[in-house]
Chains A and B, each alone.
Chain A
Amino acid sequence: MPDIRLTPLGAGQDVGRSCLLLSMGGKNIMLDCGMHMGYNDERRFPDFSYIVPEGPITSHIDCVIISHFHLDHCGALPYMSEMIGYNGPIYMTHPTKAIAPILLEDMRKVAVERKGESNFFTTQMIKDCMKKVIAVTLHQSVMVDSDIEIKAYYAGHVLGAAMFWIRVGSQSVVYTGDYNMTPDRHLGAAWIDKCRPDLLISESTYATTIRDSKRCRERDFLKKVHECVAKGGKVLIPVFALGRAQELCILLETYWERMNLKYPIYFAVGLTEKANTYYKMFITWTNQKIRKTFVHRNMFDFKHIKPFDKGYIDNPGAMVVFATPGMLHAGLSLQIFKKWASNENNMVIMPGYCVQGTVGHKILGGAKKIEFENRQVVDVKMSVEYMSFSAHADAKGIMQLIQYCEPKNVLLVHGEAEKMEFLKGKIKEEFHIECYMPANGETCTIATPVKIPVDASLSLLKAEAKRYNSLPPDPKRRRLIHGVLVMKDNRITLMDLSEACKELGFNRHILSFTSTVKLDDPGPTVRTIEKLYNLLQEKLSEWTVTLLETRTISVESVEVKIEEESNDQRHKKVLVTWSNQDEDLGAYILGAGDVPAEVTFHRNNEVNQ
């Protein structure tokens, strides 16, 4: 049986650095090409030497698919395409194509200019890389080459996030990227049809979490922010420039409006305006409500939220600041954190997942002292709140997606091992399908039964359907199809025997038999035929027994005739003729006289006695 092979280069039993290699039907596809935010060394990029020890990988990879613009899904793309070397096609959605290069450039600046790293990709490399990108729209069926077909589905997670269905031959895979099964303030819920893939590759960030209702979490969040600013504290919300930030901004904006609050809210990133322009232009990717109202009121024009200036960090009094990046691993959010952390009046709200190694991860783990590279130590006295606003599917959502698309196998990535283990158990229990969770560098081989497409002659199918429909309905009745499979010029065709003979012009050889039985049955021949006919009809209820005008009984190719012997009314010679295919039937009819109930035949095989 043909296989589907999958090897995570990143995100295998881990969050961050999503990069999966998928092989099926002789094609190799790279799913996402992300970087790890928790590392500053070579571990931050996937290990591409797994593909080829050295040199470009173009000849080994047929296409690259990027699910969304988060750097843990596309951060290594310029490195892979420009520094390792890849010239093949890269597929992503239009919003991803628009936003990804900005985030990449942003990250490059932080890495090169702030951290002084060398051997990093350049601005030009990002541009060159984006030239290789082919943008796709939702549900569009794209033929990568004559064998690979891909199709994007809405994934919710961030603007332009997509799940990809990939088909090679008769095998198919769905890769979810990150997705969200509940609609939020600016994005809709992920959706997929019943595409029944051989394999579903799902993220599992929140494999064990079942989050309470969104409304409760929002109320909680607003209450905490309000309490903190009411007592003069400062609230730091580390976010990524695009995505969660917009949702929380809409949330705070409407709350401030309703409660008539005057505390300043700042959004500390140059991207804001640009980001909001993208949201406006790709409004078809947001949720129904925003799409409906955008003509009259753009949800992304904020009244209360003002741009942040670094000078404000030391301003006295309450304020709320959104700052990037979201995991407190670098940049402005970390800078503000260092300043505000030691004041117990202040608060930091982590609205999303933090990968291991980041400051965000440490403080969420309860660390009270954070040591930095330059030996600087910061006491964490501010309150640390975690609010899961990050738009990933929770356990319920993952199960829901499996139910929607009915995969034959599930493979979990982008999550922590123990949590995956738990979810794996649940999936196996509930859906009775195999579930895999390979670690990085480990290859999963999934056997898939294939169906062989064959062209069947319509007359053969119609004849079967006619036969089937003429019988009284019976749910237990099985439909049988019988024909000849012709393999010629790489085409496989199923047809009727006579069609095959005609089309291929070969000769059948008909093998047939005639046997004679002698019967003792007084009376006219017509009577005997009738008796025989009734007997056969009763015995062979499954078959069509017909009495022809020529006083011949026929069942399939079997013909029963009585040869009248002149001047002998008593003894009759019965001739049974059949072709080799009906041997069983012919032999049975020949012997049918064995146990005649009402009809008594004196049966004698040995005619010459």
Chain B
Amino acid sequence: MKLYCLSGDPAKPCYVISFKELLIMLDCGLTAQSVLNFLPLPLVQSSKLANFVNWIPSRDHDPQMDGELKECCGRIFIDSAPEFCPPVDKVIDFSEIDVILISNYLNMLALPYITEGTGFNGTVYATEPTLQIGRFFLEELVEYIEAAPKANLASQWKDMTHLLPPPLCDLFKPKSWRHIFSAADVQNSLARVKIAGYDEKLDIFGALQVTPVSSGFCLGSSNWVLSTGHEKIAYVSGSSTLTTHPRPINQSALKHADVVIMAGLTQAPHVNPDTMLGELCMNVAVTLRNGGSVLIPCYPSGVVYDLFECLSKNLDNAGLSLIPMFFISPVADSSLAYSNILAEWLSSGKQNKVYIPDDPFPHAYLVKNARLKHYKRIYSEGFSTDFRQPCVVFCGHPSLRFGDAVHFIELWGNNPQHTIIFTEPDFPYLQALAPFQPLAMKAIYCPIETSLNFQQANKLIKELKPNVLVIPESYTQPPSMAPHKADLVIDQMQDRQVITFKNGEVIKLPLKRKRNRVYLSSELAQSLVPKEISPGTTLSTVTGLLQVKDNLHDIQVFDESTSDSKANVPSCEHVLKKTKYEWGTLDVDMFMKLLVQDGITNLKTKQGSDGSLSIYIPNEKTTIRIDDKNTHISCGGKQSLRLKLRDFLMKCIQTF
């Protein structure tokens, strides 16, 4: 069993494991941090962005590259449509992947890169919410970028990275970056997804079973258990032991695995999400009281649901219940509607509401009362008339490179009354803000990520007791944002093996398969006569007909074919079927008795120095040599005598 690491970002995992001659991809996360190197895509011509000066390298200047790079406040941005860093494609041929298992909607955004135009012909499995919400994420992403097309696409700069200042000179293989896929690619790619329910056992070519189990992180998020009759591999990605809106994590299904592969730990391990949520609510209230508005860049689903719920309650308590909340996303309506029909995937508290019947999420109520208003885009019908300040705006994209958030920053950036609050930890917020500098509006970083932190992960590992733990190498060192916090690592323990991997690496996992499940037909089982060879242990020789279908092994009784042409030539089948094995020591006394009874009395016996006994029958020039483990008959005489002796011996020894 091998593991191929196709993503260097453990928060956006993409791995492939080879097991039982199958290639199984675990997640296909999209590393989007590359877009931070590009200029934002404004919805309307922005004089500020248009006035950035061209950046020209100090040496080896190539006029072809002019206009590709712009400078703002000492940082350089690429003036082109944003590009993404897809999973490494040199290590493995995507057309050979048999199965892709998706753990949650945040970890599937590279799917079109893998499945479209690569010859991919496998199956993708995901839960229903993962598919639906993943569709929202992908559609939103494509819509944002397609809505603001760029006239020119920059590419020359990729040949010049050595001339560029940091961070551009340190970029990892920018030539492998890709433009966003098309809406058609998204549709085709998602059409390949097969829906799986929690705890559903999915059969993969009869070779193994895969099962998604609840991971507690977001709607429909799952960990995957891969098992055969004898081996168990658990892929733990994007899990949470906190209580929020999704179904709680199913830990027991992950226990006692031979191998646990763990990724998707929180990207903000140094903070507590509850504290951050409190801080967020406080900052929102302060800003609103001062007459300012709040921009919260967000994804169209996930933590944003909890934000609606908490923030609305908090504003009520603060006497700010008249402040409107706007949720702007091309998929806002669908996201809000879907969240309330996925009762089966929710925490039991929310689930019980549908039995009343009541909407599980309070945002249905907020929408009904016009506390929360949602629009596809800012230029959608009704928004300009409904829009009033102060207000709270939730919109994408958290990178601030595209989407309606770009517009709000331009609108509010110069006013120190307003506040922008970052909750998604995917992008370093200062980098996200860089092209908008200088900025007067307050910027606050309150990362809210509910997936496991290191302490929770270590506790979980202790409870799961895997034989081998496989983690990204970065989890063994403190994160770059807190290099001195030595506790922000996965503990190395003596009682289990920890294997680490890096981007682009192929590592061997120590899972040696020794056994495979086969099935004996009851007919065959009944024909067996097991012999006890020691107390509690019985043996029986088995010869059967093996039928292998869909990787299932059945063993049945075989009838000897009667159409044997060479009747006197012993056939393989016949010999095997008759075969029994002798074991233990020969009952010499009984053998001697049998010889005597048969009238073979002219015997010479000789005790060897090694404890063996030789019996010589001079009339027949036949010697029988017997020791603890062997009996050998050297027969110079008639075959009839040999067969007789054989019969006697068989009576004096045990067989199975």
Query: Contact at A514–B634, with CB atoms within 8 Å?
Result: yes
Residue of B nearest to A140 (CB): B199
B196 shortest CB reach to chain A, Å: 7
Residue of B nearest to A489 (CB): B536
B541 shortest CB reach to chain A, Å: 6
Residues of chain B contacted by A510 (CB below 8 angstroms): 582, 629-631
Query: Contact at B539–A458, with CB atoms within 8 Å?
Result: no
Residues of chain A contacted by B586 (CB below 8 angstroms): 509
A450 shortest CB reach to chain B, Å: 5
Residue of A nearest to B654 (CB): A509
Selecting from A6-14, A67-75, A427-435, A477-485, the interface stretch reads A477-485
Query: Contact at A284–B342, with CB atoms within 8 Å?
Result: yes
Contact with A along B196-228 (1 / 0, CB 8 A): 111111000000000100000000000000000
Say if the beta carbon of B574 comes within 8 Å of chain A. yes
B580 shortest CB reach to chain A, Å: 8
Residues of chain A contacted by B539 (CB below 8 angstroms): 484-487, 500, 504
Alpha-carbon separation in the docked complex, A461 to B553 (Å):
9
Query: Contact at B515–A484, with CB atoms within 8 Å?
Result: no
Residue among A98, A497, A507, A607 making CB contact with B355, cutoff 8 Å: A98
Known A295-B334, A539-B569; judge A282-B341 contact (CB<8 A).
yes
Contact with B along A133-151 (1 / 0, CB 8 A): 0010111111000000001
Say if the beta carbon of A445 comes within 8 Å of chain B. no
Alpha-carbon separation in the docked complex, A455 to B518 (Å):
6
Query: Contact at A458–B513, with CB atoms within 8 Å?
Result: yes
Alpha-carbon separation in the docked complex, A146 to B387 (Å):
58
B402 shortest CB reach to chain A, Å: 24
Tell me if A's interface is mostly helix, strand, loop or mixed.
Answer: mixed
Query: Contact at B530–A487, with CB atoms within 8 Å?
Result: yes
Query: Contact at A140–B198, with CB atoms within 8 Å?
Result: yes
Alpha-carbon separation in the docked complex, A543 to B561 (Å):
17
Query: Contact at B537–A486, with CB atoms within 8 Å?
Result: yes
Say if the beta carbon of A540 comes within 8 Å of chain B. yes
Residues of chain B contacted by A543 (CB below 8 angstroms): 572
Contact with A along B118-130 (1 / 0, CB 8 A): 0000000000100
Contact with A along B614-633 (1 / 0, CB 8 A): 00000001000000111111
Residues of chain B contacted by A507 (CB below 8 angstroms): 583-584, 628-629
Alpha-carbon separation in the docked complex, A504 to B532 (Å):
12
Residues A528-582 near B (CB distance < 8 A): 539-540, 542-543, 556, 580-582
Query: Contact at A98–B200, with CB atoms within 8 Å?
Result: no
Contact with A along B218-252 (1 / 0, CB 8 A): 00000000000110000000000000000000000
Known A98-B355, A508-B581; judge A140-B197 contact (CB<8 A).
yes
Contact with B along A567-606 (1 / 0, CB 8 A): 0000000000000111111011010000000000000011
Alpha-carbon separation in the docked complex, A1 to B334 (Å):
55
Known A281-B340, A509-B653, A515-B635; judge A453-B583 contact (CB<8 A).
no
Residue among A94, A479, A489, A509 making CB contact with B584, cutoff 8 Å: A509
Selecting from B99-107, B263-271, B321-329, B638-646, the interface stretch reads B638-646
Query: Contact at B515–A458, with CB atoms within 8 Å?
Result: yes
Query: Contact at B621–A607, with CB atoms within 8 Å?
Result: yes
Query: Contact at A512–B520, with CB atoms within 8 Å?
Result: no
Residues A106-150 near B (CB distance < 8 A): 135, 137-142
Say if the beta carbon of A39 comes within 8 Å of chain B. no
Residue of B nearest to A486 (CB): B539
Query: Contact at A485–B211, with CB atoms within 8 Å?
Result: no
Alpha-carbon separation in the docked complex, A608 to B525 (Å):
49
Residues of chain B contacted by A588 (CB below 8 angstroms): 568-570
Contact with B along A458-483 (1 / 0, CB 8 A): 10010010000000000000111111
A353 shortest CB reach to chain B, Å: 28
Say if the beta carbon of A263 comes within 8 Å of chain B. no
A480 shortest CB reach to chain B, Å: 6
Say if the beta carbon of B575 comes within 8 Å of chain A. yes
Say if the beta carbon of B522 comes within 8 Å of chain A. yes
Residue among A454, A455, A504, A514 making CB contact with B533, cutoff 8 Å: A504
Residue of A nearest to B128 (CB): A284
Known A480-B572, A581-B579; judge A485-B621 contact (CB<8 A).
no
Alpha-carbon separation in the docked complex, A135 to B348 (Å):
11
Residues of chain B contacted by A464 (CB below 8 angstroms): 546
Say if the beta carbon of A449 comes within 8 Å of chain B. yes
Say if the beta carbon of A375 comes within 8 Å of chain B. no
Say if the beta carbon of B343 comes within 8 Å of chain A. yes
Say if the beta carbon of B333 comes within 8 Å of chain A. yes
Residue among A137, A512, A513, A515 making CB contact with B344, cutoff 8 Å: A137
Residues of chain A contacted by B196 (CB below 8 angstroms): 139
B43 shortest CB reach to chain A, Å: 24
Contact with A along B515-537 (1 / 0, CB 8 A): 11111111101001010011011
Known A140-B198, A585-B570; judge A512-B630 contact (CB<8 A).
yes
Query: Contact at B229–A449, with CB atoms within 8 Å?
Result: no
Say if the beta carbon of B357 comes within 8 Å of chain A. yes
Alpha-carbon separation in the docked complex, A538 to B13 (Å):
61
- The number of residues on chain B lying at the interface, defined by a beta carbon within 8 Å of a beta carbon of chain A, is 95
Residues of chain A contacted by B582 (CB below 8 angstroms): 508-511, 580
A541 shortest CB reach to chain B, Å: 8
Residues of chain B contacted by A1 (CB below 8 angstroms): 522
Chain B CB within 10 A, most for which of A137, A489, A509: A509
Alpha-carbon separation in the docked complex, A563 to B277 (Å):
94
- Size bracket of the A interface: 35 or more
A213 shortest CB reach to chain B, Å: 29
Residue of B nearest to A512 (CB): B632
Residue among A97, A452, A540, A582 making CB contact with B519, cutoff 8 Å: A452
Query: Contact at B200–A141, with CB atoms within 8 Å?
Result: yes
Query: Contact at B533–A506, with CB atoms within 8 Å?
Result: yes
Say if the beta carbon of A488 comes within 8 Å of chain B. yes
Residues B288-340 near A (CB distance < 8 A): 333-334, 337-338, 340
Selecting from A53-61, A230-238, A272-280, A436-444, the interface stretch reads A272-280
Known A97-B355, A141-B201, A508-B581; judge A482-B576 contact (CB<8 A).
yes
A74 shortest CB reach to chain B, Å: 15
Residue of B nearest to A478 (CB): B545
Residue among B354, B646, B656 making CB contact with A484, cutoff 8 Å: B656
Alpha-carbon separation in the docked complex, A485 to B520 (Å):
11
Alpha-carbon separation in the docked complex, A481 to B649 (Å):
28
Query: Contact at A481–B555, with CB atoms within 8 Å?
Result: yes
Say if the beta carbon of A457 comes within 8 Å of chain B. yes
Residue of B nearest to A275 (CB): B357
Query: Contact at A542–B632, with CB atoms within 8 Å?
Result: no
Query: Contact at A485–B343, with CB atoms within 8 Å?
Result: no
Residues of chain B contacted by A449 (CB below 8 angstroms): 521-523
Query: Contact at A487–B538, with CB atoms within 8 Å?
Result: yes
Query: Contact at B578–A584, with CB atoms within 8 Å?
Result: yes
Residues of chain B contacted by A453 (CB below 8 angstroms): 229, 517-519
Known A281-B341, A480-B558, A512-B630; judge A608-B621 contact (CB<8 A).
yes
Say if the beta carbon of A423 comes within 8 Å of chain B. no
Residues B584-621 near A (CB distance < 8 A): 584-586, 621
Residue of B nearest to A594 (CB): B568
Alpha-carbon separation in the docked complex, A299 to B424 (Å):
36
Say if the beta carbon of B349 comes within 8 Å of chain A. no
A-B residue pairs, 7 tightest by C-beta = A451-B519, A584-B570, A139-B200, A479-B546, A481-B546, A139-B197, A455-B515
Interface residues of chain A, those whose CB is within 8 Å of chain B, are 1, 94, 97-98, 135, 137-142, 151, 274, 277-278, 280-284, 294-296, 449-458, 461, 464, 478-489, 493-494, 497, 500, 504, 506-516, 539-540, 542-543, 556, 580-585, 587-588, 590, 605-608
Q: Apart from A588-B568, A606-B638, what are 4 other A-B pairs with CB-CB below 8 Å?
A: A488-B538, A511-B630, A587-B639, A608-B621
Supply 25 A–B pairs (Cβ within 8 Å), ascending by A. Answer: A94-B343, A98-B355, A138-B197, A451-B520, A453-B519, A454-B555, A456-B553, A458-B513, A480-B573, A482-B541, A482-B576, A487-B530, A488-B536, A507-B629, A508-B582, A509-B628, A509-B653, A511-B653, A512-B630, A513-B642, A516-B635, A543-B572, A556-B575, A584-B575, A606-B638
